[in-house]
Amino acid sequence: MSDNQGILWEVFVQTKPGLPHKHCGSIHGHDKEMALQNARDLYTRRNEGTNIWIIPASEIVASSPEDTGSFFEPANDKVYRHPTFYKIADGITHM
Amino acid sequence: MTTQEALFNYCLRLADNHLILGHRLSELCSKGPVLEEDIACTNISLDLIGQANALLQYAASIENNGRNEDDLAFLRHERHFYNSLLSEQPNRDFAFTMVKQFLIDAFNYYLFDELKKSKDLTISALTTKGHKEITYHLRHSSTWIDRLGLGTDESNLRTQNAINELWRFTDDMFVMDEVDKMLITDGIATDLNIIKTKWQNTVNGAFEKANLKIPEKVWMQYGSKQGKHTEHLGFLLAEMQHLHRAYPGVKW
């Protein structure tokens, strides 16, 4: 097995037209086309998808675990920011 | 020869090309250069074997002599297989495998595209469905031709060596005989000279782009349409047919 498997790409698959792309895993590939084909073969061969995005893992900017306190906790006690006082109409499935 | 016999033979040719190429590719299962490519090759192998299965089912129904698709795949002898000489060549290195895939994918791509228009409704339906898969196969192998040809000196050399070795088997794919002529008249089969022109354009273009050359003055090998094969097919069949012959009718 070769050590040089190319760079790591994160894969996002859209399961139906109109739905958001969801992260489903990662693959290796030396270039965009190879990565796209690898993603297709690995993540959509059982009819899971209608569209694929791939993104070089190194290009993703992520918050770090140390940021959790300052980033997310202030939202906890501001209940008025959550749309919990509304009723969702019948027939709306993807909220 | 009756039309029924010609059609039976024609279906075997289409099916055997896929079955043997698919089996060759399945030999890479767990042995691919990287995990992702291993899955890609195995996927394509499954596509090919699946299409072969459907074509052999149809062949069996045309023959109407009590044989089913498994009998046709696993109980025929070497001289009754009609796959192209190119499809039975061993994988050797990855460049060799991809050059072989590419040359056959391009052939299948244009052949199936023409056969969609066949007046035989089953052949038309099967090739319409199969063409979508083959479109992907061609995309996969042609991007590898690009990558290997334009990669390093080593990858270019290996790819060029593969082309030099395999080129002698390419003309065999385009041989036509009375089976083709009879079915072309009926609007069932397609003229392989038309396929050859398109195939040459695609192959020439891809090789030129990838800094690869088609060898000149090659002594072409023929024989697959008469069931005359290279020494490699017998070994392939020994492995592919062993289980079914040792345990007749075995199921999962």
Going by their DSSP bridges, the two strands A7-14 and A51-56 should be labelled as antiparallel
pLDDT in tens, B223-247: 999 999 999 999 999 999 999 999 9
d(CA B145, CA B151): 10
Instruction: Please indicate whether, in this complex, the C-beta atoms of A2 and B34 are within 8 angstroms of each other.
Output: yes
Structure tokens at B237: 């069949």
Could you tell me the CATH number of the domain that includes residue B46? 1.20.1260.10
Question: What is the extent of the structural domain holding B200?
Answer: 3-246
pLDDT in tens, B163-176: 999 999 999 999 99
In terms of CATH, what superfamily is A7-63?
A: Phenylacetic acid degradation B (3.10.20.520)
pLDDT in tens, B30-45: 998 889 999 999 999 9
Domain ranges of chain A: 7-63
Tell me which chain A residues have a C-beta less than 8 angstroms from the C-beta of B34: 1-2, 5-6, 28
Interface probe with A: pick from B34, B44, B137, B139, most Cβ of A within 10 Å? B34
Query: Given this model, what pLDDT does residue A95 score?
Result: 67
Residue of chain B minimizing CA distance to A33: B143
What's the per-residue H, E or C state across B82-97?
A: CCCCHHHCCCCCHHHH
Nearest to A2 among B33, B139, B143 (CB): B33
Residue of chain A minimizing CA distance to B43: A41
Query: How distant is the Cα of B66 from the closest Cα of chain A, in angstroms?
Result: 34
pLDDT in tens, A5-22: 889 999 999 999 999 999
DSSP B34: S
DSSP A48: -
- Whether B252 maps to a domain, the answer reads no
- Whether B227 maps to a domain, the answer reads yes
Instruction: Please indicate whether, in this complex, the C-beta atoms of A5 and B40 are within 8 angstroms of each other.
Output: no
- Whether B251 maps to a domain, the answer reads no
Residue of chain B minimizing CA distance to A6: B34
pTM exceeds 0.80 for this model: yes
Letter string b/e over residues B154-166, b meaning 16 or more CB atoms within 10 A of that residue's CB: ebbebbbebbeeb
